[in-house]
Amino acid sequence: MSKVKIGLEIHAQLNTNSKLFCGCKTKSATPNTATCEVCLGMPGSKPVLNKKALDFAVMLSLALNCKVAKASRFDRKTYFYPDLPKNYQITQYHSPIAEDGHVFVQSKKIKIRRIQLEEDPGSITYPQHIDISNYALVDYNRSGYPLCEIVTDPDFSSSKEVKQFLKLIVSIVKHLKVYTSDRSFRVDTNVSIGRNPRVEIKNVGSIKDVVSAIEYEVFRQKQEIENGQRIKQETRRFNGSATVSMRGKETEEEYGYIIDPDLPVIVISDAQLKKIVKAMPELPSQRMQRMMQQYKINKHQAIAIVSEKELADFYEKVAKDTDAQLAASWISTQLLKVLNYNNLFFSETDLDVQHFVPFLNLIRKSKISDRAADLLLRELVLKPQHPGTLADKLKLLTLTDAKLLELTVSVLKKHKKQTEQYKRGDSKIIAFLIGQVIKESKGRADAKKVKQEIVKYLA
């Protein structure tokens, strides 16, 4: 089978207080109240660039190792749609803010083709399903929200790579504070197989859906090819379980791009660039290095922890209150495993320091075996609560010495033959006996301690 090629266009709403070209606030509000003559495209109104949005875009460009243009411009992309007040979108086509960057996802280099600023259109709601609604409602509150578009080369070959990349991008934009979870994050995905035409899946609103959409689309295209069908160049949308055709692919030509004459050339001086670099918050890669030194954890653990900003924040809080290395070990392996298994991001759980520190302390004080702790964590992630109480309820806590002795004695009595063997000097058989005790304890006995008890009892 030919190679799968995937490219992305990410649209992240920037975390500015006001819109890209006017002073309207970017807080959620009653429909059509956060608007003015500019974002409603009223005759005579003119756009004025929000400097904060520009700074944010430049910051992101630098974080993604792009070349920031000394001079860039806005263009008009003309198409008629009710959510687009001017019937053209102010975007960047001829000369974007930045070009030619890259990031590494697990040692694979992903090229960033360009980064551009543009305005979001308004939003449309339908009273029923789009196909049967006889009217639509337009809300222009979103009109003019600043979007930063990140365009990659088609460097991905699987949904797994895309997922890791998108997680990294989200981690970066959150670290830079140019984006927060309450803003929208939409992805257009181009998928092609071998030399077949590419298919674009438009406007998918979450990382998980992007992953599902790609998985579906790759499967669909492979099937079509196997069945001898030709792949059409088209635009599709993802309905939550499958991609469905929207329209034949419009070529760029039809937008009739021209320079937006209402907005002058954006000039970014070296001095401005320096100022932005200086004001730049810690990036995930920098944070990783710092954490390795500060908490004496290894690179593998640090990479796993910074993959989500919320997770890294969580780790650093936990590390302050308990054994930092133990925390790193548990977070980078078992916790991520549980999250992955449940298809959850850390930010989607309510797991908190108040749960996790006592959890680690149970392990530290040998009140729980590793295996039992693993079981406990699975429960905690889904339903965070006090770990001690839960462990007790689930009978996961390590047995007290008296109970352990009692259990050991009963196991030895039950397995007389093996006990005799041991007594005769067959020291290897002790492993069997230890295993039996642990089994009987349902994982609540610690192997080392059981061994001590057996040796002592039979001495």
Partner 1 sequence: MTYLITKVKVSNGIPLVVKDSICTKGILTTAGSKILKGFVPTYDATAVRLAKKAGCKVVGKATQDEFGFGTFSTNCAFGVPKNPHDLSRSCGGSSGGVAGYVAASKSDVFGLGESTGGSISCPASFCGVVGLTPTYGLVSRYGLIDYASSLDRIGPITQTVEDAAWLLSKIARYDKQDSTSIKKSAEDYTLYCGKSIKGLKIGVPKEYMDLATKNVRDTVTLAINQLEKLGAKIVPISLKYTDLALPAYYIIALSEASTNLAKFCGMRYGLQDKLDGNFNTYFSKVRSEGFGEEAKRRILLGTFARMAGFQDKYYIKALKIRTLVIEDFQKTFKKVDVIAAPTMPIVAPKFSEIEKLSPLDQYKIDVLTVPVSLAGLPQLSVPAGFVGKMPVGLHLIANYLDEGKIIQVGDAFEQS
**Binding residues for partner 1 (CB under 8 A):** 37, 40-49, 76, 78, 80-82, 85-88, 251-264
Q: What's the min distance (Å) between Cβ of 190 and partner 1? A: 19
For partner 1, the closer CB: 205 or 248:
248
Beta bridge partners of 193: 4
First to last CA, the chain: 66
Sheet-wide strand order for 185-193 = 67-68, 98-105, 108-119, 146-152, 4-13, 185-193, 199-204, 234-238, 243-248
Shortest separation between residue 59's beta carbon and partner 1, angstroms: 22
Looking at the Cβ atoms of 45 and 235, the one nearer to partner 1 is 45
Q: Residue 10: in which H helix or E strand, if any? A: strand 4-13
Shortest Å distance, C-beta 10 to partner 1: 24
Nearer to partner 1 among residue 30 and residue 107 (C-beta): 30
Alpha-carbon Rg for the chain in angstroms: 29
Phi-psi bin for 387: left (phi > 0), alpha (psi -120 to 50), beta?
alpha
Question: Which is nearer to partner 1, 3 or 129 (by Cβ)?
Answer: 129
Q: Which of 296, 294, 330 lies closest to 311, judged by CA?
A: 330
Smallest separation, CB 23 to partner 1 (Å) = 10
Min. distance of Cβ 262 from partner 1 in angstroms?
5
- DSSP codes joined into one string, 87-108: SEEEE-SSS-SEEEEEEEETTE
Among 191, 193, 190, 173, residue whose Cα is nearest residue 182: 173
Task: Give whichever of 124 and 242 is closer to partner 1, judged by the CB atom.
Answer: 124
Residues 6+ apart with CB under 8 A from 386: 355, 358
Name the residue nearer to partner 1 (CB basis): 37 or 370: 37
Closest CB 20 distance from partner 1, rounded Å: 12
Classify residue 332 by its DSSP letter: I
For partner 1, the closer of residues 120 and 260 by Cβ is 260
- Residue (81 or 104) nearer to partner 1, CB: 81
CB-based burial of residue 145 (10 Å sphere; 0-12 exposed, 13-18 middle, 19+ buried)? buried
Minimum CB distance to partner 1, residue 135 (Å)? 9
Longest CA pairwise span in the chain (Å): 101
Q: Smallest distance from the beta carbon of 141 to partner 1, in angstroms?
A: 14
| C-beta of 255 vs 361, nearer to partner 1 | 255
Phi (first) and psi of residue 55, to 5 degrees: -55, -45
Pairing, β 199-204 against β 234-238:
parallel
Residue 435 neighbours by CB under 8 Å, 6+ apart? none
Shortest gap between Cβ of 54 and partner 1 (angstroms)?
12
* Distances from the Cα of 347 to the Cα of 15, 266, 308, 378, angstroms: 18, 36, 8, 16
